[in-house]
Copies of this chain bind each other. A is one copy, B any other.
Amino acid sequence: MRVINFNPGPAGLPLPALERARDELLDFQGSGMSVMEHSHRGREYEAVHDEAIALLTELTGLPSTHQVLFLTGGASQQFAQVPMNFLTPDTSADYLMTGVWSEKALDEARYYGKARVAVTTVRPDKHYTRVPRQDELKLDPQASYVHLTSNNTIYGTQWHTPPDVGTVPLVADMSSDFLWKKMDLSRFGLVYAGAQKNLGPSGVTLVVADKGFIARGRKDIPKIFRYSVHAENNSLYNTPPTLAIYLVRNVLAWMKSVGGLEQVEAWNRQKAELLYGALDRLSGFYRAPVERESRSVMNVVFHLPTPELDAAFVADAKQQGMVGLKGHRTAGGIRVSTYNAVTVENVRTLVTFMEHFVKTRG
């Protein structure tokens, strides 16, 4: 029996994508071997690789100005790889600070060049409960790029429209909301996301980048770190994480089969409405710290009246087959991660549980 998985990442994946992997794990398409035993240069694997790229292109409506890459090292490696490619000791990038992951990205950038805080919504208690408004940004028109975290996994805040940054390339860490809906990726110089939320297992990092932007990246850095090298080699410069990419392909094929990103978005909005609706209705018991306009569709965070009740909530939910609800240690409380594989029905079950919990423990 499968549990209801609200893990923040690695997270639950759509059952059909996993079943497909299981069914052909020992014999991929009658080839007599597992997909992970195939050469990354053979036609069987290359078809999977290219299909994953084609599906992503189709689902997002990606224009031909942009390219999909499969890298590794997680979003954390991108924190360093972006400035390695696009900063020098004499140039500067603008960072929009909205949470723990923005802070880590900024820290890594400072090894390569000047990284400016163009805005921060940090509060005196060091926490974050919103993303900035456009009029708060103090942008440097000379910046090499502007970096933001589109969804703050820990604090449960999200940019609902990307800011206007003029002609400076916009770089976004979309680890926890990539593909939550259809969006205009042509507005971004580079987008990156660890797969382990909406897209697949951990072990592969998706990058979608403007071809011109990455072609202008530094050439005096090791080849393996250059986006341009991976782009020229269709992410086959060295051995890619073939099994992880295969699973991403399965997840993307599932997304297409259920109706594409329009359907995925509709479900995600329903899930968020159910949860925030319950939090607003039961606000005498549950406290949702995030400002309304910054509420994340992917990670819904709240607190019960005491840490003991937080713990009881997590324990009781587990009893009822719902896992992954404990908030991040930085933020405490409860976090409900409702990535694409979480169903509306799963969220209804949780909301019913939340209502019952207030009645019995409130």
Contacts and interface: CB of A to CB of B under 8 A. Distances in A.
Contact of A26 (B19, B37, B38): B19
A224 B108 CA distance: 8
Given A32-B321, A321-B32, A203 B242 contact: yes
A156 interface: no
Contacts of A40: 10, 202
Residue from the set A22, A36, A221 with the largest chain B CB neighbour count within 10 Å: A36
Residue from the set A19, A239, A240 with the largest chain B CB neighbour count within 10 Å: A239
Nearest to A240: B202
Interface in A53-98: 72-77, 79-80, 84
Contacts of A3: 31-33
Given A11-B37, A241-B202, A25 B27 contact: no
A229 to B, nearest CB: 10
A111 B74 CA distance: 23
Nearest to A112: B222
A31 B223 CA distance: 42
Contacts of A21: 25
Oligomeric state, in number of copies? 2
B10 A239 contact: yes
A5 interface: yes
Interface string A12-29: 110100110110011100
Given A26-B22, A224-B77, A202 B37 contact: no
A285 interface: no
Interface in A177-224: 194, 196, 201-204, 220-224
Interface of A: 1-3, 5, 7-13, 15, 18-19, 21-22, 25-27, 31-34, 36-40, 72-77, 79-80, 84, 107-108, 111, 194, 196, 201-204, 220-225, 237-244, 247, 321, 323-324
28 contacts: A1-B32, A2-B32, A3-B33, A7-B39, A9-B39, A10-B38, A11-B37, A15-B26, A18-B26, A21-B25, A22-B22, A36-B202, A36-B247, A72-B72, A72-B77, A72-B241, A74-B239, A76-B238, A76-B239, A77-B224, A79-B224, A111-B220, A111-B222, A194-B239, A202-B239, A204-B241, A243-B243, A243-B244
